[in-house]
């Protein structure tokens, strides 16, 4: 099977020759040049024979055009940071208006999609990373969003509607650019920021509005549920083909999620450090410091959790650029080993 066939079969619940796999990383040394980032992402996918490309625009691309100030370093393992929020008081929400999908920094990410399509020549499915409106609002305002939702809810809702329209405009431009789907990321479906009731009021309605814009137009769509203490049950029924979350460090596990949903599960790799109960790092990420054998066993464990069915091996979120090459090859080769092992066991 080629990569497109393998991903399509996985999403349809059909037999595959091996479990699909990917390990996505940010590339801040390249991500301010759409053409260069596209070339590096395609080269990365080809080098390790991964099964799809998750486009990796820098995480703040959605806020710069709304007045946030971003500092860029253009260095490996040193992503851009927010220097100044775009929302400084609650009245600033009222100036948030819909933007065209190719406007400013958004337009550079559309170019990224176009270049990846040209360079990959149909060899890999590729999906664009988008953030839900509430996450974009959080990146724009920081923690004052939590206060403004309580004290000025209508101003925030007006801004969320505008951000949803901007995201839809961006979605449409990416569809025109040839993407196969979207990686729809929410970093706000968690009690760390909002109550369940608040997410139902300020998150989910705008999520569904954006999802409705592409659910019937693209075939490989992923909902990413970021963080811990998440409202997994509020996201699992979204109209997407696959779910991705930190399954190795938060609930549910892959095995538990398989009982909750028939969607494809993307995960199995613990890309984060391991923390103890006091919140201290107990040991680094197995991907970064583990031996190749440990990484292979790590992948085998994940595949065994769901008997290799309806699974794409991947990180719970973006992996570190510090993962050694030998460990990337180890996780890639592990899925080949498991395909033969599961077949021999009749699974």
**pLDDT tens column, 46-79:** 999 999 999 999 999 999 999 999 999 999 999 9
Measure the CA–CA gap between 80 and 327, rounded to whole angstroms.
26
How deeply is 262 buried, as exposed, middle or buried, from its count of CB atoms within 10 A (0-12, 13-18, 19+)?
exposed
Q: Which residues of the chain have pLDDT under 70?
A: 338-347
pLDDT score for 281? 77
Q: Is the peptide bond before 100 cis (omega within 30 degrees of 0)?
A: no
Judge contact between 157 and 204, C-beta under 8 A: no
How deeply is 345 buried, as exposed, middle or buried, from its count of CB atoms within 10 A (0-12, 13-18, 19+)?
exposed
pLDDT score for 219? 98
With CA atoms as reference, report the closest residue to 316 among 238, 243, 219: 243
- What's this model's pTM, rounded to 2 decimal places? 0.96
Judge contact between 27 and 338, C-beta under 8 A: no
pLDDT score for 344? 54
First to last CA, the chain: 19
The secondary element (H helix, E strand) that includes residue 20 is: strand 20-21
With CA atoms as reference, report the closest residue to 174 among 164, 182, 184, 162: 182
pLDDT score for 340? 56
Domains and CATH numbers, the chain: 3-344 (3.20.20.210)
């Amino acid at each position: 099977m080629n990569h497109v066939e393998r991903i399509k079969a996985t999403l349809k619940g059909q037999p595959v020759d091996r479990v699909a796999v990917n390990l996505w990383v940010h590339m801040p040394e390249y991500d301010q040049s759409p053409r260069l980032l596209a070339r590096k992402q395609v080269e990365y996918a080809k080098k390790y024979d991964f099964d799809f490309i998750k486009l990796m625009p820098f995480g703040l691309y959605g806020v710069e055009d709304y007045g946030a100030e971003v500092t860029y370093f253009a260095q490996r393992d040193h992503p851009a940071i927010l220097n100044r929020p775009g929302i400084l008081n609650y009245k600033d929400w009222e100036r948030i208006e819909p933007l065209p999908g190719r406007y400013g920094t958004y337009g550079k990410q559309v170019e990224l999609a176009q270049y990846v399509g040209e360079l990959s020549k149909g060899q890999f499915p590729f999906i664009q990373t988008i953030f839900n409106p509430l996450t974009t609002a959080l990146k724009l305002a920081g923690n004052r969003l939590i206060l403004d939702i309580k004290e000025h809810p209508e101003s925030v809702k007006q801004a969320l509607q505008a951000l949803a329209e901007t995201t839809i405009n961006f979605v449409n431009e990416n569809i025109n650019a040839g993407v196969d789907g979207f990686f729809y990321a929410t970093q706000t479906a968690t009690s760390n920021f909002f109550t369940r009731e608040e997410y139902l009021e300020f998150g989910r309605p705008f999520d569904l509005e954006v999802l409705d814009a592409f659910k019937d137009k693209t075939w490989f769509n992923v909902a990413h549920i970021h963080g811990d203490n998440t409202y997994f049950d509020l996201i699992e029924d979204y109209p997407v083909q696959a779910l991705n979350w930190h399954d190795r460090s938060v609930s549910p596990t892959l095995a538990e999620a398989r009982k909750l949903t028939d969607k494809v599960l993307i995960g199995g790799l613990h890309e984060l450090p391991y923390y103890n109960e006091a919140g201290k790092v107990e040991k680094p990420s197995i991907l970064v410091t583990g031996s190749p054998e440990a990484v292979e066993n790590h992948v085998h464990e994940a595949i065994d959790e769901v008997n290799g069915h309806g699974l794409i091996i991947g990180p719970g979120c973006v992996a570190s650029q510090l993962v050694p090459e030998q460990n990337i090859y180890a996780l890639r080769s592990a899925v080949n080993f498991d395909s033969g092992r599961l077949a021999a066991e009749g699974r």
